[in-house]
Amino acid sequence: MCLLKLKPSCKDYIWGGHRLAEEYGKEYDGEVLAETWELSCHPDGPSYIANGKYAGQTLQQYIDAEGKEMLGTNCRRFRDFPILTKFIDARDNLSIQVHPDNRYALKNEGQYGKTEMWYVMDAGKEAYLYYGFKKEISKEEFARRIREDTLLEVLNAVPVQKGDVLFIESGTIHAIGKDILIAEIQQNSNITYRVYDYGRIGRDGKKRDLHIEKALAVTNRVPIVKDKRSYPHVADCDYFTVDKLNLDGNVMKKMEGSVSDLSFASILMLDGEGIIYNQGETLEFKKGDSFFLAAGSGTYTIEGSCDALITTIRAKAAPVHIGVDIGGAETKIGLVDIHQKLLASEVMETNANHPAEEIIREIGQRVLKLLDTQGISMDQCVGAGIGVPGTVDRKNGIVRYSNNICWEQVELAKEMGKYLPIPIRIANDADCAALGEAVAGAGRECQDVIMITLGTGVGGGIILDGEIYDGKGISGSEIGHMVIVEGGEPCTCGRKGCLEAYASATALNRDVKRAIGRDLPPEEVFEGAENGDAGLQKIVELYIRRLGVGIVNVVNIFRPQLVLLGGCISVQGETLLSPLREMMKEGCFGREKGQLPEIETATLGKEAGIIGAASLI
């Protein structure tokens, strides 16, 4: 079922009239009906489904039952349902107010900010509204005029008539004037900071609260230049695209539209009557009705006479992805564009001995600072991906266990969402590195890639059909913990004979120390072997042989197109690759009669984890 008729929640604010009940048929028994929330998943006023098997349930309950796919792929970047649609009947003047942007609202209010648009459905002859300032004023003057009740003197009063449209970005001071009927499409938020209210008394007998300090912090104090770039749409921004439909019932009495997999469609009937049908279902409409069509609904038809607003969600313009690669010693943060190019990055100490909440807060703050430094707004970011070592529950955004950073049952996605008001996805850090190489590095021409990271431990990631392979969605692959020598060297996981116990830099150093009694960095070990040191040659040959056994095992199971080596030991290049290729020829099932994968060195280095994490979104 894709075509839903919605029933609104009703609001009785003191400035409201009663036209929405009298003229638009809204079911309401009270004397004052100021607003009806026609399309809403907001807990302060949800809309309800009026038809079909979900009748009586909220729109959010329908989405929860059917899955967020009902909203479309363009909505994946939103943490919550993206918009809220209202009818507003202003019998009296609304308060002078302003709405914060996403970043301020999330930090201070725990929900999104608010950008909105108004379509004037009707207005009295002398009707006007306030929209921005007449002239630029200082913060000090703004505060003084609020205290002295002289703010109206510097506000821009705009006369309006039926059919006018205003786009109100967050931070724009504004107010609807009396005797105006409006359709409003806005971000899914209910945050308003009042700065002037005509001295009105609320139902409690007291003057209604003002929010002066918050308003001072978020208000844009320069005149607003009306933006006409939305053409051919009524309004167009990263949060919503609104189009106007007019059928006169004579010359134009039928319209066909299409709802693709990219976005749902909201249809708000401002006037008229007729029928709407989709996928064999037909519903009647009259003015004031609101309909929701799920993404992928296909062709729908409207017949009759109507004025209507059709709202969809488009792809974000110039999107930026945030990538975070958390390690035991350091955390790397980067901003990545749609071409998987790293725009900017920085490195911070992880401070793994600190509580998880502190580490997450510092990462979130550093991300926000990096965005500020680069002049990139949060609105431009479609989401953040985070790579983290250990056992990761990708579906629920939880780090089950990580010995590297001493985390257990940390709700990473939820906690990071307190600082970044965008979708958050997490994965194992080795999986992220593999994904980074697959989308932007040595494996960008391949769909099936296995990456083995040779560092302090042995990590690995498996990319099949361009996606991380992680079984049931928890932990990811643990290539380093396959046993290659039964009863062999102890491993950090508690078992014996794992690949990590033989092919890590730690294992190589152990073997060198046993042979010569002192530590040597990997590069000196390989250099000494190349220069003829018999003892080091023996160690290197055994190291490569053990690594080759692990690689052959993985290739026999997954049959990838490409095997990549990363980490500090991978810099040895052909010293490793040549003998490993020979081992694959001898050890892989089918040998050269089958299709052997290539084996190469990863190319992105420390950027792989950032780019891979960013690609989770």
* pLDDT digits 0-9 by tens, 226-275: 655 577 899 999 899 999 999 999 999 999 999 999 999 999 999 999 99
Q: Answer whether residue 546 shows pLDDT above 80.
A: yes
- Out of 194, 394, 425, 546, which one is annotated catalytic? 194
Average pLDDT over residues 553-566: 93
* pLDDT digits 0-9 by tens, 3-46: 999 999 999 999 999 999 999 999 999 999 999 999 999 999 99
Instruction: For the chain, give the percent of residues with pLDDT over 70.
Output: 98
* pLDDT digits 0-9 by tens, 432-489: 999 999 999 999 889 999 999 898 888 889 999 988 987 765 666 788 999 999 999 9
Tokens 């306030």 belong to residue: 130
What was the pLDDT predicted at 496?
Answer: 95
What was the pLDDT predicted at 386?
Answer: 97
What was the pLDDT predicted at 262?
Answer: 95
- Residues 232, 325 within the same domain: no
CATH assignment at residue 64: 2.60.120.10
Instruction: For the chain, give the percent of residues with pLDDT over 90.
Output: 76
- Residues 412, 456 within the same domain: no
Is 609 part of a structural domain of the chain? no
Is 101 part of a structural domain of the chain? yes
Give ∠ CA 96-78-309 in degrees, rounded to 5: 60
The verdict on pTM exceeding 0.75 is no
Burial class (CB in 10 A: 0-12, 13-18, 19+), 583: middle
Q: Answer whether residue 396 shows pLDDT above 60.
A: yes
Is 434 part of a structural domain of the chain? no
Cross-strand partners of 119: 165, 183
Range of the domain at 532: 442-601
Is 363 part of a structural domain of the chain? yes
- Residues 301, 329 within the same domain: no
- Residues 283, 330 within the same domain: no
What was the pLDDT predicted at 200?
Answer: 87
Mean pLDDT (the chain) is 92
* pLDDT digits 0-9 by tens, 39-65: 999 999 999 999 999 999 999 999 999
Q: How many domains does the chain have?
A: 3
Phi-psi sector, 292: left (phi>0), alpha (psi -120 to 50), beta: beta
Other residues' Cβ atoms within 10 Å of the Cβ of residue 372: 12
- Residues 345, 227 within the same domain: no
Q: Answer whether residue 317 shows pLDDT above 80.
A: no
Q: Answer whether residue 127 shows pLDDT above 70.
A: yes
- Residues 179, 295 within the same domain: yes
- Residues 225, 349 within the same domain: no
Q: Answer whether residue 376 shows pLDDT above 90.
A: no
**Is 194 an annotated catalytic residue?**
yes
Q: Answer whether residue 225 shows pLDDT above 80.
A: no
CATH assignment at residue 457: 3.30.420.40
What was the pLDDT predicted at 9?
Answer: 97
Three-class SS of residue 292?
strand
Phi-psi sector, 340: left (phi>0), alpha (psi -120 to 50), beta: left
Which of 182-186, 349-353, 582-586 tops mean pLDDT? Answer: 182-186
* pLDDT digits 0-9 by tens, 294-305: 999 999 999 999
- Residues 404, 363 within the same domain: yes
Q: Answer whether residue 1 shows pLDDT above 70.
A: no
Is 268 part of a structural domain of the chain? yes
Is 608 part of a structural domain of the chain? no
Is 616 part of a structural domain of the chain? no
- Residues 279, 338 within the same domain: no
- Residues 388, 463 within the same domain: no
CA distances from 113 to 108, 184, 219, 366, 454 (A): 10, 15, 13, 21, 45
Is 115 part of a structural domain of the chain? yes
Q: Are 350 and 357 in contact (CB under 8 A)?
A: no
